[in-house]
Amino acid sequence: MNDSVSLLHFAIAIPLLAAFATLWAGKLGRPAVQIVSVTGFALPTLLAIFAWVSYNPEVAGGYDFVTRHNTGLEAVGISLHLGLNGVALPLFVMAAVVGLAAGLYAAQSKAENLSRYLFCLLVMQSGLMGVFASIDVFFFYFFHELALIPTFVMVGVWGGRERSYAAMKMTIYLTLGAMLSLAGLIALYVKSGAESFDLITLKAHLAAAPLSDTVSTYAFGLLLFGFGILVSLWPLHTWAPLGYGAAPSSAAMLHAGVLKKFGLYGLIQIAVPLIPGGVGQWEGWIIWLALGNVVIVGLVTMAQRDLKQMLGYSSVMHMGYAFLGIAAMSVIGVSGAVIMMVAHGLTVALLFMLSTMIHHRTQTFEMEEMGGLSKKAPVLSAFFVCGMMASIALPGPGLANFWGEFGIFVSLWQFKPWVLCVAATGIIISAIYALRAIARVFFGTESEDFQEVQKEHTVIDMTWAERVPALILIIVLFFIGFFPKTISSSLNDALESEPVYATTEAEQGGSH
């Protein structure tokens, strides 16, 4: 541990500095804004890749690139303590990659007042990098709020239909979730007696002096439902499809792809290791609500006719699998949940971006008003089919999503086989809505509405400016799919160091 400026500081600070530089560059014209903003997204990605390649899982305490800086709030246990362990590292890299793709796509958008649009996006990116780099729980929460506030602004100002209602609903739900999780974190800090928000200190203190059963139950409940709202846990999920449907594409990519993982990450990294006694008290709630995500929200997804709404509900549905992996409380289950979070982040960002490209060519999100688009845009068709196959975790080594769901299903078989049987129905549901969407949008006969659109607009395939951000996401998806150990190796090591996961794995007789 040292007081030097590390690559994590740069990864957080560069997007924030670029955000303000973008406002200044707005006076110089659109090209200057694009160059500054893309630089603000590209440099953190390079730093994240360097961290991935050079990460040392054998460092003391499991955290690499560790730095701590005084904030003047040390009297209340708050310091800027940054570092990455095996759980945080893949999500940190995923946040950078999705941010780069979203930034590249946003830089070429026709958004009114592009410099302010990119300013908000860059502030979001800075917060996202900070969330997964924070060891101090206070800053973990602070960076989440830093990323969340621009989301409301972007939906309300640059959003599509029903943007005011969507922004208001998102604000109410997400503020409620943030307040509940904050209450849980404060309760944890106060009742632990550790006098520090530092996660490493909290773990050591609570290992020696665990919380009482009553405190564990209520503190974990606050964190479960607070984080659950932020992750769109059923039935507190209705803000998500509406918000993503109204949000501009790049904002939806960052929020659905990255920021929504905050709650799951908080459960895995903070709630479960620090309050293992509370997990058993809420196990039934986690299972049934997560199954609600998979089955009930899955059926609602099947009923959607609006492409972007369907993707929004699909995103909510798949979060249920991650909750079930956490409920299994084993290394293989939680490892599967993290891999799925990474793969889901890349996939949903890709699909939201592609859905907007489809809208630009068909002038609608209504799937019934499309059809036959593959004849006009075969490359767009191939990208979308690839994204949907990844989303439904098509079996095979080439798609990262498969390894996440596979690990979760194996853990559920060891944990509660009946839960696996119910959760497996989501495979059928996913296949139905995915194949139906592909068929209605790209194949079959062109609808009369689409034919009318073509009389006024020339429909072209993806341009290279559109292909580059999509290729970035797909290449990373395939890389993880072919080489899952690049994530799972250090991830499993980090989880095995947590007694609550390792003990449960041994009790279930599982292996990884």
Question: How many Å apart are CA 391 and CA 42, to the nearest integer?
Answer: 26
Mean pLDDT to the nearest integer, 268-297: 87
Question: How many Å apart are CA 107 and CA 114, to the nearest integer?
Answer: 8
Query: Side chain identity at 51, as an amino acid letter?
Result: A
Question: How many Å apart are CA 414 and CA 294, to the nearest integer?
Answer: 19
DSSP annotation of 136: B
Mean pLDDT to the nearest integer, 291-313: 91
485-496 and 464-482 are packed helices; what angle lies between their axes, rounded to 10 degrees?
50
Task: Work out the number of other CB atoms within 10 angstroms of the CB of residue 62.
Answer: 21
φ, ψ of residue 232 to 5 degrees: the values are: 70, 50
Which of residues 499 and 423 earns the better pLDDT score?
Answer: 423
Q: Is residue 441 scored above 80 in pLDDT?
A: yes
Question: How many Å apart are CA 408 and CA 273, to the nearest integer?
Answer: 19
Query: Side chain identity at 334, as an amino acid letter?
Result: V
Q: Would you state the structure tokens that stand for residue 208, as one six-digit string? A: 């020696």
User: What per-residue confidence (pLDDT) applies to 352?
Assistant: 92
Q: Is residue 281 scored above 90 in pLDDT?
A: no
Encode pLDDT of 210-222 as tens digits.
Answer: 777 788 888 888 9
User: What per-residue confidence (pLDDT) applies to 396?
Assistant: 60
| 3-state class (DSSP) for residue 364 | coil
DSSP annotation of 55: -
Q: What is the 3-state composition of the chain as percent helix, strand, coil, each rounded to the nearest 5?
A: 80, 5, 20
Q: Give the pLDDT band (50/70/90) at residue 512.
A: very low
Encode pLDDT of 445-487 as tens digits.
Answer: 888 787 888 778 888 888 898 899 999 999 999 999 888 888 8
Nearest of 189, 188, 196, 198 to residue 218 by alpha carbon: 188
488 near 335, Cβ under 8 Å? yes
Those residues whose C-beta lies under 8 Å from the C-beta of residue 374, and which sit 6 or more positions away, are 381, 442, 443
Q: Which residue has the tokens 């062109």?
A: 446
User: What per-residue confidence (pLDDT) applies to 510?
Assistant: 45
Encode pLDDT of 163-199 as tens digits.
Answer: 888 888 888 888 898 899 889 888 888 887 777 788 8
Which of residues 395 and 78 earns the better pLDDT score?
Answer: 78
Question: How many Å apart are CA 117 and CA 6, to the nearest integer?
Answer: 29
Q: Would you state the structure tokens that stand for residue 119, as one six-digit string? A: 């300013």
349 near 257, Cβ under 8 Å? yes
Q: Which residue has the tokens 């739900």?
A: 173
Question: How many Å apart are CA 367 and CA 307, to the nearest integer?
Answer: 6
Provide the β-strand partners of residue 136.
198
Angle in degrees, CA 250, 255, 258, rounded to 5: 105
As a whole number, the mean pLDDT across the chain is 86
Q: Give the pLDDT band (50/70/90) at residue 507.
A: low
Point out the least confidently predicted range of 88-102, 219-233, 273-287.
273-287
Mean pLDDT to the nearest integer, 275-279: 81
For the chain, the distance separating the N- and C-terminal CA atoms, rounded to the nearest angstrom, is 31
Nearest of 229, 214, 59 to residue 144 by alpha carbon: 229
User: What per-residue confidence (pLDDT) applies to 297?
Assistant: 93
Question: How many Å apart are CA 207 and CA 279, to the nearest integer?
Answer: 16
187 near 222, Cβ under 8 Å? yes
Can you list the alpha helix ranges (DSSP code H) found in 210-330? 213-231, 239-246, 249-254, 261-266, 272-274, 276-291, 297-302, 307-327
Output the pTM of the full model: 0.90
Question: How many Å apart are CA 365 and CA 370, to the nearest integer?
Answer: 8
Q: Would you state the structure tokens that stand for residue 31, as one six-digit string? A: 């090209």
Alpha carbon of residue 126 to chain centroid: 15
312 near 256, Cβ under 8 Å? yes
Question: How many Å apart are CA 16 and CA 60, to the nearest integer?
Answer: 31
User: What per-residue confidence (pLDDT) applies to 1?
Assistant: 44
Mean pLDDT to the nearest integer, 84-89: 90
Nearest of 392, 388, 385, 387 to residue 426 by alpha carbon: 392
Q: Is residue 16 scored above 60 in pLDDT?
A: yes
Those residues whose C-beta lies under 8 Å from the C-beta of residue 249, and which sit 6 or more positions away, are 102, 105, 106, 109, 352, 353, 355, 356
User: What per-residue confidence (pLDDT) applies to 283?
Assistant: 84
Q: What is the CA radius of gyration of the chain?
A: 22
Mean pLDDT to the nearest integer, 375-398: 84
Q: Is residue 368 scored above 90 in pLDDT?
A: no
